[in-house]
Amino acid sequence: MSKQINVALIGNPNTGKTSVFNSLTGLNQKVGNYPGITVEKKEGICKLPRGVKAHIIDLPGTYSLNASSLDENVVIELLLNKNDKDFPDVAVVVSDVENLKRNLLLFTQIKDLEIPTILVINMSDRMKYKGISLDIPYLEEQLKTKIALVSTRKNQGIDNLKELIFNYKDLSTTPCLNASEIDKDYFDNLQKAFPNQLLYKLWLVITQDVNFGKTDRNEIDAVADFKTKTKADLKRLQQKETIKRYQFINNTLKKGQTIDLSTAKDLRIRLDRILTHKVWGYAIFLVILFTIFQAIYDWSAVPMDFIDSTFASLSEWTKDSLPAGTFTNLLSEGIIPGLGGIVIFIPQIAFLFLFISILEESGYMSRVVFLMDRGMRRFGLSGKSVVPLISGTACAIPAIMATRNIESWKERLITILVTPFTTCSARLPVYLIIISLVIPEGRFLGLGYQALTLMLLYLIGFGAALVSAMILNKILKIKSKSFFVVEMPNYKLPLMKNVALTVVEKTKSFVFGAGKIILAISIVLWFLASYGPGEQFNNAEEIVTEKFASQNLTQEELDNEIASQKLEYSFIGLTGRAIEPAIRPLGYDWKIGIAIVSSFAAREVFVGTLATIYSVGSDEEETIKNRMAGEVNPILGGPLFNFASGISLLLFYAFAMQCMSTLAIVKRETNSWKWPILQLVLMSGFAYVVALITYQILI
């Protein structure tokens, strides 16, 4: 036996496939994209008996091998291409015990590909509760496979599944039924034309927009002895195939599955009536959102204060303990404050992902999608657009990738263009630090002003996305039709292992992704802030000493004035002064201007940039928040970060397009630079105008 087995994890959406994947791989997993396609790819390693390892790839959810979207095509193309490095030695089809009939359609199709296949019946702990009993030996005989009854919630059946994967060579590759009987003459001729090819693979190549090996539909059509069919005829044959498969499934389940409705207990209908109600549904959703944002503030306060003071102390300790010199200054004034500016927000970002994961795991998020669909049509969006808009609260990049499920190109394009308005986790550090500086800590009806402000910013972003979508729907002259279908999964208690893995994976991805950018920018910014041209920088000590000679300044005060002089005439100071006239009407100084410009690489760089700038030349053991609070407006006096400038800055970040990675994904998804350039110019221009008007009104 080879030292590594390739395993493809396949199943319908909402069958608990991710839970099975997490149970098999634990933390030995990573997330990437399929080569040449922006569809998320999860893979991991599972340890099997006798030191054998299984490379498990979690394929996108699909209802059948009759693909209707790009991510479903990924499943088919992998299963048809034996030359692919991820081609499975064994396919593990995950089904839900409550929806076995529907799930088995995909299973019978995969069996026709003659790949060793294991059927996992998940959520087996619900069988007694739902009055379901299964005759496993009979089902294994009829389906010509081995079945693993699994409960990821109770961690049951996973060891048995690993054993079945290990012994995959013992599995039967015989199909469950002869699907070619739907048109015997047609399939006989097809097999004669291509005697060395698997019949069902040929059928999929003919009916799907996929290729495998060196054979494609054009070559099949070119074979003289083979009479092709029209698209309409092929569609009818597909329908006949589906009917034949369900006839087989129904006959199998008549004996293999028994459901005693008298013992089934289901609150789902009553809960759905409340949670999807046209009034109470929205009210409950808003209450949940308020609770989430209040918890983000209340629960994360202690760890954030600890991280903030720790990095300030670490920076001071580095400066005092290491030999004086350029490297020590780089560490204490550049790298440590820059990284501290992002690490401080780990608690709040982790809590945000925690709540989103719980809502998804419980089945509630699907109700939100259904609820919101009622109002989405008037804005030119599909109900499916809600998924990218909601997932955009984590990150716009995977949210834009998720639009591939939207069949209508117009609705998909509009969704891609407006999704960056939704408040992503990269904006969160900016919001949190500014809100803490300009919004008081009081409460209204038990809800903190700061939490309400954060909630309002999320709603403003979502509202901007909807209004923009409505405008684009009227401007874009693209004709298209679409329909909205969403599956309502059963309610279930979130599996904390899944929630924990999601929080760890998403937070790690955010921190390391942002950390690389921040580290690089912090080093560049430190250099630009520590060096400068001309006498004003090089002779700063003499100039400042002479300037304040008549004032009896302490040595510490004199050192701070020298540091301020150097910073002002450094490379970064001169750059900031150059752009200051453009941002002064918004209430910003040159330091904020540098932070805004650098954050066009990634929004979260804003806080790290200010942390680096304020740390250069500072000997005080102060936190970034204290330094920002101490900044003085050079023209008006008083705090630089006051209510007017703070709200202006919050709104600028709410609307500006500040993420190069998102622009790159938009270009890739639309196959044109026109749309991302329009996004960058229009969103940033709109942000500037709104920030300008806001500051001038509030000042």
Q: 421 near 385, Cβ under 8 Å?
A: no
| Beta bridge partners of residue 215, listed in sequence order | 212
Tell me if 329 is assigned to a ligand binding site: no
Tell me if 22 is assigned to a ligand binding site: yes
Q: At what angle do helices 571-583 and 555-568 cross, to 10 degrees?
A: 70
Tell me if 340 is assigned to a ligand binding site: no
Q: 569 near 623, Cβ under 8 Å?
A: no
List helix spans (H) across 584-623.
590-598, 605-615
* Burial class (CB within 10 angstroms; exposed 0-12, middle 13-18, buried 19+) of 114: middle
Tell me if 40 is assigned to a ligand binding site: yes
User: Backbone phi, then psi, for 8, in 5-degree steps?
Assistant: -100, 120
Tell me if 568 is assigned to a ligand binding site: no
Tell me if 617 is assigned to a ligand binding site: no
Tell me if 13 is assigned to a ligand binding site: yes
What is the spatial distance between Cα 479 and Cα 494, in angstroms, rounded to a whole number? 41
Tell me if 59 is assigned to a ligand binding site: yes
Tell me if 60 is assigned to a ligand binding site: yes
Tell me if 14 is assigned to a ligand binding site: yes
| Dihedral of alpha carbons 424, 426, 427, 431, sign | positive
Q: Smallest Cα–Cα separation from 41: which of 60, 22, 69, 16?
A: 60
* Burial class (CB within 10 angstroms; exposed 0-12, middle 13-18, buried 19+) of 231: exposed
For 454-485, the DSSP string reads: HHHHHHHHHHHHHHHHHHHHHH----------
Q: At what angle do helices 346-362 and 364-376 cross, to 10 degrees?
A: 90
Q: What is the DSSP letter of 89?
A: S
Report which residue type is found at 587: G
Half-sphere exposure of 478 (CA within 13 A, CB side): 14
Q: Smallest Cα–Cα separation from 498: which of 310, 354, 671?
A: 354
Please state whether beta strands 40-47 and 29-33 pair in parallel, antiparallel, or not at all (unpaired).
Answer: antiparallel
Tell me if 123 is assigned to a ligand binding site: yes
Residue with tokens 């540091």: 563
What is the spatial distance between Cα 436 and Cα 451, in angstroms, rounded to a whole number? 10
Chain centroid to CA 372: how far?
Answer: 20
Tell me if 122 is assigned to a ligand binding site: yes
CA angle 694, 698, 699 (to 5 degrees): 115
Tell me if 16 is assigned to a ligand binding site: yes
Tell me if 26 is assigned to a ligand binding site: yes
Tell me if 25 is assigned to a ligand binding site: yes
Tell me if 61 is assigned to a ligand binding site: yes
Tell me if 252 is assigned to a ligand binding site: no
Q: What is the DSSP letter of 15?
A: S
Residue with tokens 């279908």: 485
Numbered residues of the known binding site for GTP? 11-18, 36-40, 58-61, 122-125
Numbered residues of the known binding site for Mg(2+)? 22-23, 25-26
Numbered residues of the known binding site? 11-18, 22-23, 25-26, 36-40, 58-61, 122-125
